[in-house]
Amino acid sequence: MQASVRLDHQLLSFEGEHEVHAMLELSAPALPDGAARPPLRLALVLDRSGSMTGEKLAVAKRCAAWLVARLRPVDELALVDYDDRVRLLAPLAAVREGPLRAAIAGIHPGGSTNLSGGWLKGLEQLRGAPGDAPRKVLLLTDGLANVGVVDHGSLVGLAANAREAGVGTTTIGFGADFDEELLTAMADAGGGKAHYAATPDEAPAIFADELEGLTRLAAQNVSVEIRPLAGVRMLEVLNDYPLVEVPGGVQVTVGDAYAGERRRVVFALHIPHLAALGVTPVAELVLRYVSVGESIEQHTVTIPIAANLVSAEEAAAAGPDLEVQEEVLVLKAARARDEAVRLADAGQHDAADRVMGEAAYDLRDHGLEDEAGALDELRGLLPPAAYADPASKKRMHYESNLRKRRGKRER
């Protein structure tokens, strides 16, 4: 995995203190032609509560059968369903399409939603699996966790613990009645993705996207420690990745990386008045990840960050790094989406629109028309009549979550 770091201002005046933004860019290598992917170990956990009756459950079953048909005999799959009861329909084992299809066909709607029980049963199947193959739970639900463990903090903590043990979590929310904040938080903590299917016909593309990603997995458990040096202070991480304080700094959990993918981590540092010309170290990054391929290897890479202190005239003439500046604006716009949702939830729809409008103006002022246009489109969901539709809030939440984790759209 290639890594590089840039500051929003490559040249800083030595005459004062500074708040700078740094951008770490991680690039996972493309898969070589003909490269064999490692076997997968998956647990598919399906909601069969009463609210899934009809087209939603039918589509979920078709997607599950589609997934089974595209896995290889060397892959392993566990199948779990749940309502108020949890059923292990197929324990983790090598994929045998016939029995798995039969188990899927036998799923019928039931009662309440023991989301935690179903998910924990999937984790249980994968935790004990030997070997180094990638392991992930795919959790699908259309409702609220109302049986079993229902506390958000507990579920998110369990997802983080499972990730540290090598088991990831991806969530798929169906329809308008599930808890989007819980599902995105579980996926973030679990190092996976959070998907939203507003209608059942959006689900097949989500399953296809998830399987494609799993077959292109290049690195797991990607994390970055940000360690400011003496006198330099860490201000904030702009991405919405899980953070943990560690000795000397903070650890950012990036999650999995896929072949050919680019991931960015943007953070702010306060650099004091150093009163010296030249290149001065201000922080270091420690990148850790497990490469996935023909062999599984743990990697640790230390990346220094330095500021180049020059005269005020030289610093002013150099100007900012526009790409870093744009990434900062996009991530701040994602925060504006969150603030707009908070205001709209409180009935302050005009204030929510102003927040989004100001963010769109800043983006457009820096030439980010695509990002500004996306914000303008979401502003149409803020008036009271439109916002009364639960799908409006979910769409804004998932778009914000994606931008805070993935940054600027690729052109």
Could you read off the pLDDT of 324-336 as tens digits, one per residue? 999 999 999 988 9
**Listed range (130-144, 227-241, 387-401) with the worst mean pLDDT:** 387-401
97-to-61, 66, 101, 190, 392 alpha-carbon distances in Å:
14, 10, 6, 28, 38
The residue among 88, 187, 202 whose CA lies nearest residue 136 is 187
Instruction: Give ranges for CATH 2.60.40.740 in the chain.
Output: 2-32+218-318
**pLDDT, greater one: 405 or 395:** 395
What's the full length of the chain, in residues? 411
Strand, helix or coil for residue 129: coil
Band the pLDDT of 404: cuts 50, 70, 90. low
Partners of 11 in the β-ladder: 308
- Distance, in Å, from the CA atom of 373 to the CA atom of 205, rounded to the nearest integer, reads 24
pLDDT at 138: 96
Pick from 114-118, 142-146, 208-212 the range whose average pLDDT is largest. Answer: 114-118
* Strands laid side by side in the 191-197 sheet: 86-94, 76-82, 41-47, 135-141, 167-174, 191-197
Q: How far apart are CA 117 and CA 329, in angstroms?
A: 40
- 3-state class (DSSP) for residue 391: helix
State residue 122's pLDDT score.
96
Q: State yes or no: pLDDT of 196 exceeds 80.
A: yes
The topology under which CATH files domain 2-32+218-318 is: Immunoglobulin-like (2.60.40)
CATH 3.40.50.410: which residues of the chain? 41-215
CB atoms within 10 A of CB 92: 19
Mean pLDDT of the chain: 89
Put simply, whether the predicted model's pTM sits higher than 0.85 gets the answer: no
Q: Which helix (H) or strand (E) holds 290?
A: strand 278-291
**Residue 100 burial by Cβ neighbours in a 10 Å radius (0-12, 13-18, 19+):** buried
If you average pLDDT over residues 77-91, what whole number do you get?
A: 95
89, 90, 95, 98: CA torsion to nearest 10 = -50
The fraction of the chain above a pLDDT of 70, given in percent, is 96
Is residue 339's pLDDT more than 80?
A: yes
**Cα separation, 204 vs 345, whole angstroms:** 31
Gyration radius from the chain CA atoms: 23
Instruction: Give the torsion sign (CA, 157, 215, 129, 69).
Output: positive
CATH architecture classification, 41-215: 3-Layer(aba) Sandwich (3.40)
Read off φ and ψ for residue 311, nearest 5 degrees.
-70, 160
Residue 285 contacts residue 270 (beta carbons within 8 Å): no
> Which of 137, 148, 138, 89 has its CA nearest to residue 115?
148
* pLDDT digit string, tens, across residues 101-130: 999 999 999 888 889 999 999 999 999 787
